Homo-oligomer: A and B are copies of this chain.
Amino acid sequence: MLGNVAETKKVHADSSTFTQGLSKQEVYAQIREQAEGLFFEQRNWVCNLANTASLLWHGLRSLPPPSSSVNWAGFYVLDASKPNQLILGPFQGQVACQTIAFGRGVCGAAAQTGATQLVEDVDKFPGHIACDAASKSEIVVPIVQNGRVVAIIDIDCAELNGFDEEDKTGLEELAQLIAESSDF
């Protein structure tokens, strides 16, 4: 069948190719739509977060500044080996801190409070953990499953004020999709 032939020829890399000139809302809509397709019949969290990190990285960097200066996009998850600790999950960008205690820095605050942290200037955030001195602003969105934070989305930007309310909305919708679609 022709339909099947077309299906076979579709390459996954195209999912993370974003047309220049899209609005931020359109980029988040494409990320969500592609993630939904990639999560179909696949609930493995490592696999799903690895592909989502790629979507976020390529989507945000296709936008005008400051989003084009995103320099880290990925996930921390609950560390099964230690209570109240996050451990590094799939990401795109430079090498990152392996573990983060609940309450420490921007990621730890999101994990402890269950609330999105939108930080315009990380140097002004009490107890900020500098995994990368180049990062100037950050957004961290908790992924909540059965009332419990199971992971966080963490995105850094090399510019101040790298994120806004559109990022918050787009990432919170994505966090909900991940929570519904993946087994942690």
Chain A interface residues (CB < 8 Å from chain B):
11-17, 34, 38, 42, 44, 46-47, 50-51, 54-55, 58, 74, 77, 79, 81, 87-99, 130-134
Contact = CB atoms under 8 A, between A and B. Distances in A.
B88 A54 contact: no
B90 A11 contact: no
B87 A17 contact: no
B47 A15 contact: no
A10 to B, nearest CB: 10
Contacts of A12: 94-97, 131-132
Given A44-B79, A44-B87, A87-B44, A13 B96 contact: yes
A17 to B, nearest CB: 7
A89 B46 contact: yes
A143 to B, nearest CB: 15
A46 to B, nearest CB: 6
